[in-house]
């Protein structure tokens, strides 16, 4: 077996705002396996400034992985615990190599085009006018679940935006999720959650920065609005540490990004622990290209989670790869009439 790696820069169609700044490009890496005339491809979806494996030796570790591909998947995964995005790229590449079609990793009614995955429509931060236009666009596209990034502009302005949606659409019509990306200060968070809860929101992701375990536990205990942990899960590798984190904070939900938490195997650990504690969960992509999104979506479908998933990011880039993945009426679908086009 031969393994190579390659870098690819994804360009956003328009600058996308978060509470951590504005994104114009997204770096990603691919691991390509060749064996007996078959090819497998996996994406290592690193997000600079957020991924735990955003380290100076990242490229060196990719090179080491490809040079030691003979060790096999299990051994490599054990060696790459601190590099969850490379773990996921490897899992993906090996799974891709197994099949005659390198892009059909988990054959199902989804890949046959018979069933779809409900997803949330993502609203990026920006001016009130820009955010309002995005909201109207998503609703017109048939989304019944919308997720808004909040925390970068004035809180009262964001509240008025949310109120404007609720004036027009009841909670039974449109499910609203918000993602603060850790933007709230601990001392003000509960008061803001109380105000947000008046708008019948589904949940809020990561209201305060990760690592403030006691503050987050207190918030989850007192909150009138369900809290979902996101960044809080990044960098927690040991299964005992994972269990302790959930037992201590007792969140209402956790949000799982395979590229950030060790691929499918790492994500399954979190799911099993969450199920034991009756904590809800859903899967989200992390700005991967359509290659990574495809792998996440096919696997997610097999989990039979009926909640809207966070998988609607494929259309954000000008230079993504053409694929059968299509967003229609608030769902992600697989259209077998469309072909893959890779320019790697």
Domain boundary among 69, 98, 127: 98
Specify whether 75 is located in the same domain as 131.
Answer: no
Catalytic residue among 61, 95, 209, 257: 257
Specify whether 77 is located in the same domain as 185.
Answer: no
DSSP codes of every residue in 12-69: EEEEEEETTEEEEEEEEEEEEEEETTEEEEEEE---TTTSTT--TTHHHHHHHHHHTG
Q: Would you say residue 112 lies in a domain? A: no
Specify whether 177 is located in the same domain as 226.
Answer: yes
Round to whole Å and give the CA distance between 117 and 310.
10
Q: What is the pLDDT of residue 135?
A: 85
Specify whether 166 is located in the same domain as 273.
Answer: yes
Round to whole Å and give the CA distance between 145 and 171.
10
Q: Would you say residue 339 lies in a domain? A: no
Specify whether 60 is located in the same domain as 11.
Answer: yes
Specify whether 159 is located in the same domain as 131.
Answer: yes
Round to whole Å and give the CA distance between 230 and 284.
10
- Expressed in angstroms, the distance from the first to the final Cα of the chain is 20
CATH of the domain at 209: 3.20.20.120
Q: Would you say residue 108 lies in a domain? A: no
Q: Would you say residue 316 lies in a domain? A: yes
Q: Would you say residue 45 lies in a domain? A: yes
Domains: count for the chain: 2
The DSSP code for 315 is: G
Specify whether 132 is located in the same domain as 76.
Answer: no
Specify whether 68 is located in the same domain as 168.
Answer: no
Specify whether 91 is located in the same domain as 168.
Answer: no
Q: What is the pLDDT of residue 15?
A: 77
Q: Would you say residue 13 lies in a domain? A: yes
Question: What 3-state class would DSSP assign to 303?
Answer: coil
Specify whether 129 is located in the same domain as 276.
Answer: yes
* Number of CB atoms found within 10 A of residue 43's CB: 25
Specify whether 137 is located in the same domain as 6.
Answer: no
Q: Which two three-digit tokens encode residue 132?
A: 């309002």
Q: What is the pLDDT of residue 20?
A: 61
Round to whole Å and give the CA distance between 54 and 47.
7
Catalytic residue among 61, 95, 147, 149: 149
Q: Would you say residue 143 lies in a domain? A: yes
Domain boundary among 98, 125, 140: 98
Taking each helix axis as running N to C, give the angle between helix 290-302 and helix 84-98, from 0 to 180 degrees, rounded to the nearest 10. Answer: 80
Catalytic annotation present for 136: no
Round to whole Å and give the CA distance between 11 and 19.
19
Q: Would you say residue 325 lies in a domain? A: yes
Which of 320, 321, 318 shows the shortest CA–CA distance to 340?
321
Output helix, strand, coil percentages for the chain, rounded to the nearest 5. Answer: 40, 25, 35
Per-residue pLDDT of the chain (344 residues; tens, 9 = 90+): 999 999 999 999 887 766 567 788 999 999 999 999 999 999 999 998 889 999 999 999 999 999 999 999 999 999 999 999 999 999 999 999 998 899 999 999 999 999 999 999 988 777 778 888 888 899 899 999 999 888 877 899 889 989 988 888 889 889 999 999 899 999 999 999 999 999 999 999 999 999 999 999 999 999 999 999 999 999 999 999 999 999 999 999 999 999 999 999 999 999 999 999 999 999 999 999 999 999 999 999 999 999 999 998 778 899 999 999 999 999 999 999 999 988 77
Catalytic annotation present for 95: no
- For residue 270, the enclosing domain spans 117-334
Specify whether 269 is located in the same domain as 209.
Answer: yes
């Amino acid at each position: 077996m031969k393994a190579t790696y390659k870098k690819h820069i994804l360009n956003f169609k328009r600058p996308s705002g978060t509470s951590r700044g504005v994104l114009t490009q997204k770096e990603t890496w691919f691991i390509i396996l060749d064996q007996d005339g078959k090819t497998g491809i996996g994406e290592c979806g690193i997000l600079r400034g957020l991924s735990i494996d955003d380290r100076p030796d990242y490229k060196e570790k990719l090179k080491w992985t490809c040079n030691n591909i003979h060790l096999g998947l299990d051994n490599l995964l054990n060696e790459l615990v601190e590099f969850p995005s490379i773990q996921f790229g490897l899992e993906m590449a090996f799974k891709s190599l197994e099949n005659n079609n390198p892009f059909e990793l988990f054959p199902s009614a989804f890949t046959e085009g018979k069933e779809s995955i409900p997803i949330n429509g993502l609203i990026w931060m920006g001016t009130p006018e820009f955010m309002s236009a995005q909201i109207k666009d998503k609703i017109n596209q048939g989304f019944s679940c919308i997720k808004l990034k909040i925390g970068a502009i004035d809180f009262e302005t964001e509240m008025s935006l949310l109120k404007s949606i609720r004036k027009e659409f009841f909670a039974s019509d449109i499910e609203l999720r918000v993602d603060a990306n850790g933007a709230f200060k601990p001392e003000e968070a509960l008061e803001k959650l109380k105000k947000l809860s008046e708008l019948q929101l589904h949940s809020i992701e990561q209201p305060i920065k990760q690592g403030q375990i006691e503050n987050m536990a207190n918030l989850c205990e007192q909150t009138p609005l369900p809290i979902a942990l996101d960044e809080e899960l990044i960098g927690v590798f040991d299964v005992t540490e994972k269990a302790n984190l959930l037992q201590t904070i007792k969140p209402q939900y956790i949000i799982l990004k395979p590229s950030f938490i060790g691929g499918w195997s790492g994500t399954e650990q979190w799911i099993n622990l969450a199920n034991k504690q009756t904590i809800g969960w859903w899967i989200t992509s992390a700005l991967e290209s359509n290659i990574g999104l495809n792998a996440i979506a096919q696997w997610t479908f097999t989990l039979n989670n009926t909640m809207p998933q966070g998988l609607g990011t494929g259309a954000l880039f000008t230079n993504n790869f053409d694929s059968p993945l299509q967003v229609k009426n608030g769902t992600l679908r697989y259209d077998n009439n469309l072909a893959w086009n890779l320019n790697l």
